[in-house]
C-alpha cells in the first residue's frame, strides 16, 4: 500500500538523508489543513491533501483502506464524472502548491514526479500548473525548473528507489531524460 508523498533531495548525484537518516519526509510538511491529524502524529500534513484520502474526503467517502487503489480508480473515473474530476482537481492543486513551496525552498534544477503524482497531475493539468505557478516566487516564474515524470513512473517504489509519490532528482539519468525531452519539443 502506498500513501502520501515521499521524496528525495539529490545534490551532486547523492541523496541527502538528514542528520538521523529520516530526511525527505516531504509529505509531512505542514502544507495542509491544521484541523486534520496525520497518522504520523502531526497535524496538517501535506500527505493528507494529495493522495486517495484527500480525494475520498472531497467526495464524502470514508477514508479508503487502500488510498493508492482508491486514487487510481478515481483518476480513471474523473473524465466521465464531474464530481470526481473536481475532487481530483483539488488534490492536484495541493500537489502543485506544495511543489511550489519545495521549489522556492530548495531551488532544484529539475523535479521528477513518481508514484501517483504524475497521473494526478496529468488528470488535472490546468489546476496543477496554475497552483504551481501561483505558488512560485515571482523571480522564479520566468524559468521554473522542469517538472518531469520519473523514469520509473508509478512503479518507481517497487523498484526500490524510494517509497515515494514524488521524487526530487538531480541524477544524471534525470538530467538526461530532461535533455531528451527538451530536444524533442
Ligand atoms: Zn504527517
User: Minimum mean pLDDT among 28-37, 43-52, 81-90, 165-174: which range?
Assistant: 165-174
User: Which one has a higher pLDDT value, 22 or 165?
Assistant: 22
Region 157-168: what's the mean pLDDT? Answer: 36
- pTM (2 decimals)? 0.80
- Report how far residue 135's alpha carbon sits from residue 183's, in angstroms, rounded to the nearest whole number: 28
**Other Cβ atoms closer than 10 A to 77:** 14
- Domains within the chain, CATH numbers bracketed: 9-184 (3.30.420.40)
Residue 157, pLDDT score? 40
The pLDDT value recorded for residue 60 is 98
Tell me the CA distances in angstroms from 175 to 13, 143, 148, one per residue in order. 10, 16, 10
What separation in Å is there between the alpha carbon of 178 and the centre of ligand 1? 31
Distance from residue 36's CA to the centre of ligand 1 (Å): 10
pLDDT at 64 over 70: yes
Q: Each residue of 104-128: b (16+ CB within 10 Å) or e?
A: eeeebebbbbbbbbbbbbebbeebb
Given this model, what pLDDT does residue 35 score?
96
Average pLDDT over all residues of the chain: 82
Ligand 1 centroid – CA 29 distance (Å): 7
- Compute, in angstroms, the gap from residue 5 CA to the centroid of ligand 1: 10
Greater confidence (18 vs 167) lies with 18
Distance, in Å, from the CA atom of 104 to the CA atom of 82, rounded to the nearest integer, reads: 32
* Ligand 1 mean position, distance from CA 32 (Å): 10
**String of DSSP letters for 108-166:** -S-EEE-TTHHHHHHHTHHHHHHHHHHHS-GGGTTSPPPEEE-TTGGGGGGGTS-S-S-
Residue 40 Cα to ligand 1 middle (Å): 4
> What distance in angstroms lies between residue 27's CA and the mean position of ligand 1's atoms?
7
Ligand 1 center–CA 43 separation, angstroms: 7
91, pLDDT greater than 60 = yes
d(CA 53, ligand 1 centre) in Å:
13
Q: What is the pLDDT of residue 23?
A: 85
CA of 25 to the centre of ligand 1 (A): 8
Could you give the dihedral angle defined by the CA atoms of residues 94, 149, 167 and 76, in that order, rounded to the nearest 10 degrees? Answer: 50
Q: Which residue has the higher pLDDT, 11 or 127?
A: 127
Res 181: pLDDT: 56
- What's the mean pLDDT in 74-78? 97
Residues 149, 155, 158, CA angle at the centre, nearest 5°? 135
Given a cut of 80, is residue 140 above it in pLDDT?
yes
Residue 98 pLDDT grade (very low, low, confident, very high; cuts 50, 70, 90): very high
Ligand 1 centre to CA of 34 (Å) is 11
Select from 49, 144, 154 the least CA-distant residue to 106: 144
Amino acid at each position: 500500500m502506498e500513501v502520501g508523498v515521499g521524496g528525495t533531495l539529490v545534490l551532486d548525484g547523492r541523496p541527502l538523508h538528514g542528520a538521523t537518516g529520516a530526511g525527505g519526509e516531504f509529505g509531512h510538511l505542514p502544507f495542509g489543513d491544521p484541523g486534520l491529524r496525520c497518522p504520523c502524529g502531526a497535524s496538517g500534513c501535506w500527505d493528507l491533501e494529495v493522495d486517495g484520502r484527500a480525494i475520498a474526503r472531497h467526495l464524502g467517502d470514508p477514508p479508503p483502506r487502500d488510498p493508492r487503489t482508491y486514487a487510481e480508480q478515481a483518476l480513471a473515473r474523473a473524465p466521465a464524472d464531474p464530481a470526481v474530476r473536481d475532487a481530483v482537481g483539488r488534490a492536484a492543486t495541493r500537489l502543485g502548491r506544495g511543489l511550489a513551496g519545495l521549489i522556492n525552498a530548495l531551488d532544484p534544477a529539475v523535479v521528477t514526479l513518481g508514484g501517483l503524482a504524475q497521473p494526478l497531475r496529468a488528470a488535472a493539468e490546468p489546476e496543477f500548473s496554475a497552483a504551481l505557478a501561483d505558488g512560485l516566487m515571482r523571480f522564479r516564474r520566468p524559468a521554473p525548473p522542469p517538472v518531469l515524470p520519473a523514469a520509473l513512473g508509478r512503479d518507481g517504489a517497487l523498484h526500490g528507489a524510494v517509497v515515494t509519490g514524488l521524487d526530487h532528482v538531480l541524477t544524471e539519468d534525470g538530467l538526461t531524460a530532461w535533455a531528451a525531452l527538451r530536444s524533442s519539443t
